[in-house]
Structure 1
Amino acid sequence: MNGQKARYYFENGYMCAESVLLAICEAQKIENSSIPAIATAFCSGTARTKGNCGALAGGILAISLIHGRTEPDQSVDLCYKLTQQLTAHFKNKFNSDNCFKIIDCDLSITEGRDKFKNNDIKQKVCLDLVEEVTDYTLNILTSEQKN
């Protein structure tokens, strides 16, 4: 259900990382004026640099927001464990964590952005990624909260 909320955000103008982070924060009842802005540069393969998938980055941002350190002497173990779990799941499911490899488009050039739009890759690929990452991230967060 929360993945569908991320899908809704993505279909209505937010980008991948923003949509995932928004949906997870909404589900976790986290309000912050920096959301979704903090996720913007992670969209489109980290700002069109052929970097990590923005949906994955949105999930990682959510994990860090919930389990990241607020003091220098705090442990990183849980945050890292959940991030590693999400990343392994993502790579296993989609064969890569790299936006360029997943969508086969170079978003840093006009031709690549045209290919993305003209081949409806947002609908054919990215919407499922956004939904999957949101649901999986919420699942591991919920599982961890029960422990």
Structure 2
Amino acid sequence: MHGQRARYYFENGYMCAESVLLAICEARKIENSNVPAIATAFCSGTARTKGNCGALAGGILAISLIHGRTAPDQSVDLCYKLTQLLTAHFKNKFNSDNCFKLTDCDLSIPDGSNKFKNEGIKQKVCLDLVEEVTDYTLNILNENTKN
């Protein structure tokens, strides 16, 4: 359900990490003026560096927003545990966490960006990643958060 919302955001102008973070914050009723801006640099394989998948980064940002530390004496354990669960699930399901490997597009060059657009990679690959990460992240958050 919320994965569909992330898909909607992605189809309507937001990018991968932004869409995941927006949908998760919406689902958890989190209002923060830094969302989606805090996720922007993680889109397109970490700012077109052939880095990690932005959808995965959006899920990790959401976990950190909810379970990250606000003081140095707080534990990182739950935040790290959920991030490890999400990352393992993602790698198991999609065989990589790297944007370039997932899309076969180097988004830092015009040929790669053109390939992404012309071959419909967003529709063929990325929309499913955004939806899966959103739903799985919300699932593990719901299982590990006291309401």
TM-score, normalised via structure 2 length: 0.99
Q: CA deviation digits over 1:18-71, x for unaligned, max 9?
A: 000000000000001100000000000000000000000000000000000000
Separation in structure 2 between the aligned mates of residue 7 and residue 146 of structure 1, nearest angstrom:
27
1:5 lines up with 2:2 in the alignment: no
Distance 2:145 2:101 in 1: 34
What amino acid is the match of 2:78?
L
Q: Distance in 1 between matches of 2:25 and 2:109?
A: 32
**5+ long unaligned stretches in structure 2:** none
3-state SS, counterpart of residue 145 of structure 1? coil
Q: Which runs of 5+ in 1 are unaligned?
A: none
The residue aligned with 1:84 is 84
State, as a whole percentage, how many aligned pairs show the same letter.
87
Whole-Å separation in 1 of the counterparts to 2:67 and 2:145: 11
Displacement of 1:146 in angstroms is 5.3
Aligned to 1:142: 142
Give the structure 2 partner of residue 120 of structure 1.
120
Amino acid at match of 1:98: N
Once the two structures are TM-superposed, the CA of residue 145 in structure 1 deviates from its matched residue by 1.9
* In 1: Cα distance, 2:96 partner to 2:8 partner: 24
Aligned length in residues: 147
Distance 1:145 1:126 in 2: 28
Q: Which aligned runs of 4 or more in structure 1 are off by greater than 6 angstroms?
A: none
Q: TM-score, normalised by structure 1?
A: 0.99
> Are residues 1:104 and 2:100 paired?
no
